[in-house]
Amino acid sequence: MTSLRNTAFGLLAATLLATPALAQQPAGDGKLRIGVILTLSGSAAVLGEQARDGFLLAADAMGRKLGGLDTEIIVVDDEQKPDVATNKVRELVRRDKVDFVVGPIFSNILRAIARPATDSGTFLISPNAGTSNYAGAECNPNLFVSSYQNDQVHEVLGKVAQDKGYKRVVLLAPNYQAGKDSLAGFKHSYKGEVVNEIYTPLGQLDFSAELAQIAAASPDAVFAFMPGGMGVNLVRQYRQAGLSTTPFLSAFTVDESTLPAQKDAAVGYFGGANWAPNLDNPQSKAFVAAYEKRFNSVPGTYAMQAYDAALMIDSAVRAAKGNLANKDAIRAGLRAADFTSLRGSFKIGPNHYPIQDFYLVKAAKRPDGKYETQVVEKVFANYQDNYAKDCKMP
């Protein structure tokens, strides 16, 4: 049963890093140390900022005492560069002796830091990136994900496109692991014709060539995965190209991280998500109110998932009775996920990825002039990813 302290009216959660039994040992002073590594610079900085703010909001609500222990949180910028991220994670583990690492945003960064973090015995909790390899054959006993498996949100739009009877679609994504996972996820649920599958360089901001290809193909719908600044530009240029009559479906392209810049250009566009700010449960409503009051912006899934990551750590350290050296007990606590998630239904699957509900959402302008995504309908209930069967957890 979930304790009252973990509800939205109680505590918010803190951060990461727990080390191994033989390699990296806790500092021994009874303090919990968490390293948070996110993209905090460049065109995608808003994604990392939302995750950072969500995590710190939770930690501060708990008085910086996750699991009942005094908690030190070290926040670093991975600069969206795998080599930089790898070096910074090694510093967090070896120099700062963190017990948990929380991060990252991007999947190529997750692939770079997973081994450096977990080989030391430290626990890595990803509040966003959820690559297919770690959900399946490369699953890791010290890696947990508080977000989703990358394919799943995109599967929502594939099912919606299928159900709406769209016969021909064009798919668009950046050329890196999450982009490939996104289109694979869409195609898992969609059985119509993919007219064109377009990959762009990560960070591209001019889509005129791709939009010309879309216009020439005359598809029934377009599906795009373009996070951060890429999504801002794509949506604006899509409208400007006169393609508004072609349904635009997306994931992580029209959300609370991009809507403040997209504004009316995105209103009415559909997305997929595991949560939205108008989700009707008390803990979510309390979180949204607290976030908006503190940061004067609408939280997105990046903030929500990081908030839940803090709750996850808090519950695991409590399950281990504050004994940071007892890695087995902390791991069992992470698997148990004994906390009230902001998204409601939530549990950790055998591959350490969540089993949860997914929704079709729609971008809207609120009466107060702010923009948010809103739940249209539930598409999948208690949905486990398609790779869990391949995970043989040690």
What pLDDT was estimated at residue 228? 86
Cα separation, 44 vs 85, whole angstroms: 15
Give the C-alpha separation, 327 to 316, whole Å: 10
Amino acid of residue 36: V
DSSP secondary structure string for all residues of 158-211: HHHHHHTT--EEEEEEESSHHHHHHHHHHHHH--SEEEEEEEE-TT----HHHH
Helices and strands in the chain, H and E counts: 12, 13
Peptide bond into 299 cis (omega under 30): no
Query: Do 258 and 156 share a structural domain?
Result: yes
Say how many C-beta atoms besides its own lie within 10 A of residue 295's C-beta.
15
Query: Which pLDDT does position 18 carry in this prediction?
Result: 34
**257 in the same domain as 286:** no
**pTM of the predicted model as reported, rounded to 2 decimal places:** 0.90
- Is 378 found in the same domain as 234? yes
Per the domain annotation, does 394 fall within a domain?
no
Q: Are residues 192 and 323 in the same domain?
A: no
In terms of domains, do 53 and 13 share one?
yes
Same domain, 21 and 133: yes
Query: What is the number of domains present in the chain?
Result: 2
Contact 71, 32 (CB under 8 A): yes
Verify that 244 and 366 share a domain, yes or no: yes
Query: Residue 14 domain-assigned?
Result: yes
In the block, tokens 């902001």 appear at: 342
Tokens of 167: 């016969």
CATH number of the CATH domain containing 330: 3.40.50.2300
Residues 332 and 366 in one domain: no
Looking at residue 4, what is its pLDDT? 30
Asked whether the beta carbons of 52 and 295 are under 8 A apart, the reply is no
| Residue 392 within any structural domain of the chain | no
The answer to whether 253 and 301 are in contact (CB under 8 A) is no
Q: Are residues 268 and 382 in the same domain?
A: yes
* Domain co-membership, 155 together with 143: no
In a domain, 197, yes or no: yes
Instruction: Specify the pLDDT at position 15.
Output: 31
The letter for the amino acid at 205 is L
393 in a domain, yes or no?
no
Residue 164 belongs to a domain: yes
Tell me which residue of 233, 357, 373 sits closest to 303, measured CA to CA: 373
* Domain-embedded: residue 44: yes
**Do 170 and 266 fall into the same domain?**
yes
Query: Which domain covers residue 255, as residue numbers?
Result: 151-273+358-387
Based on the domain organization, do 312 and 183 belong to the same domain? no
Q: What is the pLDDT along the chain (394 residues), one digit of tens a residue?
A: 333 334 333 433 333 333 333 345 565 688 999 999 999 999 889 999 999 999 999 999 999 999 999 999 999 999 999 999 999 999 999 999 999 999 999 999 999 999 999 998 999 999 999 999 999 999 999 999 999 999 999 999 999 999 999 999 999 999 988 899 899 999 999 999 999 999 999 999 999 999 999 999 999 999 999 998 899 999 999 999 999 899 999 999 999 999 999 999 999 999 999 999 999 999 999 999 999 999 999 999 999 999 999 999 999 999 999 999 999 999 999 999 999 999 999 999 999 999 999 999 999 999 999 999 999 999 999 999 999 999 998 7
Q: Residue 96 in contact with residue 74, Cβ under 8 Å?
A: yes
Q: Would 304 be classed as within a structural domain? A: yes
Query: First-to-last CA distance in the chain?
Result: 27
Which residues, 6+ apart, have CB-to-CB distance to 355 below 8 Å? 346, 347, 348, 349, 382, 383, 384
**Number of Cβ within a 10 Å radius of residue 242:** 10
